[in-house]
Chain A
């Protein structure tokens, strides 16, 4: 038996537009997992994901090639090799039979040529054709086997000589938790998908107050359902009779889906009620868990408890609210007590506490200026002036630290602004909403254009944009892909120097673009925090052109150079679709040329 083990990760990311680095954290997870199976020291090779774009699913044989590639045929008695195939980053619905079968064939082929190899496959708990294909290739008289670790932590050994998989480890919730934390903890996922819309909104049905924020969990139904289900399960175990869910959705039509899904999964009944319903459709006896979208003052909750009790139902003392106003929670993190008709209840929140910035309408600047609070579900693309300037003025403005123009003066480019908004901090605070607005703008740009392609965002690799692209990905379950181009590459492109670009065509961002160029079913959009002179955008366009990629649009958060046309010589005009415009451009390139003595 080998003394130490080297893992060759094969992380399969189906439906992804291009490849990405496998993070160290993931490699560490693999090392721990393999150490659990094999004695000895374990190392893991740095690696990039194996991807098949959506359209490439039709040529699933590519998975075979990519699994086979770069696996050394070593017979080293001291260092063993573990090929670890990880499907847990792929959407379940894309793990199609041909992909599974080619994986089985590839693993069988590897074992035939390299009998000392160990193989571990991580995949969701589902029955695929992987085993059959593996056994077909290897044949019954071969001792080879692979181990499959399912998402529920159970482990089976698949031997070529045996028709059935052999269970070697029962389900292990600990592993499921670890994997979920690795792939993204549910709280993070939920947090990333909850949208805090900045605007001027009505506060419930109140005429007295308005709010600056509306919290929208409609993109997080899955996560809300999962967490709600856990709470209802706890209630179910403490309940003698059958339970029902009564959901009340004031401003969140999606809550009905949460109620129905949880009830379906748990095999119980669900009754949705809306404001003003007379509850006549509800049963007249039984235990009810009350599920609400938001609890502010608690008055609606009290009225509901009263109504349900009058109807004859016993309202469980745990009440579930997706959102709870921070004011109600005071010091508590996620629940608060309330007493109705001398009975004690506890309201438990699913998502974190929310602060909606409630104002009396008689003191609200916007109300005083005659702007009526709006319905949050009727937002329009772009950002309102009031909202944009609030964001811009929240934090101190800072000198422009990065941008066009090489700092070592080999190519000065247009001058920097002396002060710019601190976009990194703005994105940390408002990035979820701004990212949503960018998505929305891209969608609006695509109306009438080509179908439903996945978006790929190209931007400079800089701190503010890193923050924003993380938020872009969070709401959409790690999609879409972002390609981040280092500033020195953008500087080089400014002076039409493509030497390093060509050298980097096979690594990192360069490889992402090379792979992207092979297909055209992706909508490539350029994004940036602001546009001062089109210089950075032109650099990005040049780089894209170098790879043979056409950009669909340029979406700066702020366009300080409105009315300008973005186009490379001989290329098509790329529409500029900013979220907001402030006419305050950098000096034009002509001005710069003049300043540099007619260069």
Chain B
């Protein structure tokens, strides 16, 4: 679906979204909420990075997801570039423009404000970073950004081979010896291989289960623990434009009446906290053998996707029925992210955000805290966005 130039003449209404110096997800959501931005806004949305200096890759991924959501209904999104050259270099380094062009399936000039087109053409590539600092962690992070282990990567998911190729390439990237050395020093546990073996594998296996996904974007970065960094972490996030987890589970429920494909032991207990515009509700405890039914709402369905043995896939009596671990992907994922890496997992579907992390309340009988937020005025995105955050330490 190519955005056409025709609809973008001078009379077009333009909704400008100026972003601040630090583009992180919270800031982005605050701005969108304050300005009442919607992904189905017919106005041309102009995302203004002019004042921006630093970018969180998950925020960039979220911008791409919103852009991708809008483009499917021919709604346009454009960008103003950062005024500061170093900031423009950061966007280039993370391959933001390449990803944006691929998501929009349009050449870069069509995604930029006219004034910026010339700038982006004139602006040469950033000089290769030199390895001057003696700190190997800094050197390796810089090097992995240059080697494109960190940053944004886009994949087309047109067929099974393309999906296999994505997995092969990503597992290869996350097994880079330098990355492993970095993880061995800065991640919790001694599980340097588990980033590829569990986190990356399960996050991408999940993408492959989403019907009608044509594109996946993987975003990652590693922030080393320094005294001035509040939440230093390795972040690995993936957005796909397929049917959402909620939609597919709903379809399974309506079609088959049940989405539990395997019995699960009630080994995990969750405390479920709901935040949103609705009247406050008390927290609820739920165990991993819980099963949704047709009356369950979207939030419950999203929560259920974490549980082992829940899948939209039918037991078709064929090869699938041999799979006794069907519906365990997100279960393996949150277990490792939380139990091994002491991190947290976020899933964004539509306008719902689900966070699962370790329970911190001493009196609680739950091991995990699930926070479900909805109706906070954040624009809906299409598809699924999953973010694993693995804290780093010195």
A interface vs B, CB < 8 Å? Answer: 54-55, 57-61, 64-65, 91-98, 101-102, 105, 124, 126-127, 129, 136, 221-222, 225, 244, 256-257, 259-261, 263-265, 267-272, 281, 283, 450-453, 520-521
Contact = CB atoms under 8 A, between A and B. Distances in A.
Given A61-B322, A101-B325, A265-B181, A94 B197 contact: yes
Contacts of A127: 189, 191, 194, 340
Residue among A55, A97, A222 with most chain B CB within 10 A? A97
B139 A260 contact: yes
B181 A61 contact: no
Nearest to B147: A257
A261 B208 contact: no
Interface in B169-183: 169, 171, 174-175, 177-178, 181-182
Interface string B137-173: 1011001000000000000000011101101110100
Given A98-B325, A225-B177, A521 B140 contact: no
Interface string B298-335: 00000000000000000000010011110010001000
B185 interface: yes
Contacts of A264: 136-137, 140, 178, 181-182, 184-185
A93 B178 contact: no
A195 to B, nearest CB: 18
A225 to B, nearest CB: 6
B134 A244 contact: yes
Contacts of B319: 59
A270 B137 CA distance: 10
B181 to A, nearest CB: 4
Interface of B: 131-132, 134-137, 139-140, 143, 160-162, 164-165, 167-169, 171, 174-175, 177-178, 181-182, 184-185, 189, 191, 193-194, 196-198, 201-202, 205, 208, 265, 319, 322-325, 328, 332, 336, 340
A267 B139 contact: no
B143 A126 contact: no
Main secondary structure of the interface of B (DSSP, over half): helix
B139 A93 contact: no
Contacts of B265: 136
A97 B328 CA distance: 10
Contacts of B136: 259-261, 263-264, 268-270
For the complex of A and B, list the 3 residue pairs with the smallest distance between their C-beta atoms, beginning with the closest. Answer: A269-B134, A263-B136, A93-B196
Given A98-B328, A127-B340, A55 B160 contact: yes
Nearest to A246: B134
Contacts of A267: 185
Contact of A96 (B134, B164, B198): B198
Contacts of A102: 324-325
Contacts of A221: 177
6 contacts: A59-B322, A92-B175, A93-B171, A124-B193, A221-B177, A263-B136
Given A55-B164, A451-B165, A256 B131 contact: yes
B325 A60 contact: yes
Given A126-B194, A271-B134, A451-B162, A261 B177 contact: yes
A225 B182 CA distance: 14
B131 A260 contact: yes
Given A93-B175, A222-B177, 17 more contacts: A54-B168, A58-B208, A60-B325, A64-B322, A92-B196, A98-B332, A105-B324, A129-B332, A260-B136, A264-B136, A264-B140, A265-B181, A265-B184, A272-B131, A272-B139, A453-B161, A453-B165
Residue among B167, B184, B332 with most chain A CB within 10 A? B332
A105 to B, nearest CB: 7
A93 B168 contact: no
Contacts of A65: 322
B25 to A, nearest CB: 28
Contacts of A453: 161, 165
Contacts of B191: 126-127
A190 B136 CA distance: 24
B325 A61 contact: yes
Given A261-B178, A264-B137, A61 B197 contact: no
Contacts of B323: 59, 61
A453 to B, nearest CB: 8
B122 to A, nearest CB: 29
A94 B171 contact: yes
B134 A283 contact: yes
A521 to B, nearest CB: 6
A101 B309 CA distance: 14
B181 A126 contact: no
Residue among B168, B174, B189 with most chain A CB within 10 A? B168
A287 B169 CA distance: 40
A268 to B, nearest CB: 8
B202 A97 contact: yes
Nearest to A266: B136
Contacts of B182: 264
A91 B175 contact: yes
B14 to A, nearest CB: 40
A15 B169 CA distance: 13
